[in-house]
Amino acid sequence: MHLIQSNKIKLLLCSLITLNLYGEYELDEEILSDPRKKTFDLNQKKANEDSSTLKKDWINPITYQYSKNFGEEYKTEKSVVTINQPIFQSGGIYQAIRYANSTHRYSTLEIEQQKKLLIKDAVKILFQIKKTELNIQKTRLTVKNADIDVIRKKEQVLNGFLDSSFLDNALLTLNTAKNSLVDLEYQRKELINNFHNISSKKYTEFSLPKLELFNEKEFLENNIEIKKAKADIQRKGNFSQMTVSRYLPSVNAFYNYTKNHFTDGQAGMDHEADQKFGLSINVPFDSRTFNEIESKKIDYLKSKIDLKNKVTDEKTFFKTKLDKIEMLKKRVEITRDDLKVYDSILSIIKEEKEAELKTQSDVDTLENSQRIKSIDINIYELDEQMELLEIYAKLH
């Protein structure tokens, strides 16, 4: 099942259907090509490994050293194993693990956002292809009307009812419509090529989704940008606390193991192993302490301000989209009113044709114009869906 093949993808993110929506979203990536899906999978695996590395960052490595002296007087061989492991860092170990977790959450959100944006781009191209096809239909009807007008003007010029400039203008209108048709057909091909940059399947294998609107509260609660900003606050807060702990006292457990393998008969050296172990207290004194701690605190405070700005930005974004959708709905209403007028006029024109007061070309022109208005409604509805798609792309 593909993203676009579902009968209706709802954006009503109330608590009862949030999980269902996310379940559908997991299928959305079927629109992406296998290499692009693989890239996102590898990015997630890398984020997982980076997080695991960060969690273990406070663990010092065990060092093994083997040395062999080739001096002229004595030849010796020795192995040394050294362990120097912090067991208390004034909260630094705990904060390092929390920092790793918060960094992983931030990276995961970023990867999911990138994936969803790419899916959105693919779906938007499908909408644009459909819109272009509708515009092609409109332009073909416009060409038909322009053709009829040229024939009418030609007869009127030949019969002396009009100046030739009227025919010239009619021909110019016809050629403009034909050129527009050529441009639209090229745009359609270009969009199809762009779609195949993202998806390995034919665009005809997908049907368009039907997206629905929801309220601002649900949009903000499920907004991935805001979730990222919150994750960034937690990440930078953990890092700030971890930075402070670096300049506080720490306790290390140490262990040294030394064994001489070959002493060349050197006095005072035997083959017995020598072991040393114990605890050490470390108190760092660094002239950069205050500056680095303050720098990380500032980053943390900035992230809190960034969240407030992000909420404001997303509220504005949502309101702008609502205004655009409202405008498109008004256009649909106006066009529907125009269609009613066309219906009434067309019925009169057909009656006059029966009475031989009007010609078939008059009927054809009006019917073509009526079809153009009907197509306009479909285009406005597609535009509305594309606005909703922009909102959908920000949900998590």
User: Which residues have CB under 8 Å from 221's CB, separation 6+?
Assistant: 13
Domains detected in the chain: 3-31+89-248+284-392 (1.20.1600.10)
Alpha helices in 199-285, H assignment, sequence order: 216-221, 224-246
Q: What is the pLDDT of residues 172-187, one digit of tens each?
A: 999 999 999 999 999 9
Distance between CA 133 and CA 65 in Å, rounded?
72
Note the pTM of the prediction, 2 decimals: 0.83
Beta-bridged to residue 262, according to DSSP, are: 77
Looking at residue 89, its pLDDT comes to: 80
Annotate 92-136 with DSSP letters as a single string.
HHHHHHHHHHHHHHHHHHHHHHHHHHHHHHHHHHHHHHHHHHHHH
Partners of 65 in the β-ladder: 80
In this structure, what token pair is assigned to residue 141?
């009807």
CA-closest candidate to residue 234, choices 103, 334, 331, 377 = 103
Residues 78-95 as b/e (b if ≥16 CB within 10 A, e otherwise) read beeebeeebebbbebbeb
CA distances from 35 to 39, 40, 42, 114, 205 (A): 6, 9, 10, 15, 19
Q: Do 385 and 127 form a contact (C-beta atoms < 8 A)?
A: yes
Whether the Cβ atoms of residue 146 and residue 232 lie closer than 8 Å to each other: no
Q: Answer positive or negative: Cα dihedral of 64, 69, 70, 75.
A: negative
Would you write out the chain's pLDDT as a tens digit for each of its 396 residues? 344 444 333 443 332 223 233 334 334 788 999 999 999 999 999 999 999 998 988 888 899 998 877 766 667 778 899 998 888 887 788 888 999 999 999 999 999 999 999 999 999 999 999 999 999 999 999 999 999 999 999 999 998 888 999 999 999 999 999 999 999 999 999 999 999 999 999 999 998 999 998 899 999 999 999 999 999 999 999 999 998 988 888 899 989 988 877 655 555 555 567 888 889 888 888 888 899 999 999 999 999 999 999 999 999 999 999 999 999 999 999 999 999 999 999 999 998 988 888 899 999 999 999 999 999 999 999 999 999 999 999 998
Residue 275's DSSP bridge partners are: 257
The model's pLDDT over 103-155, given as tens digits with 9 standing for 90+, comes to: 999 999 999 999 999 999 999 999 999 999 999 999 999 999 999 999 999 99
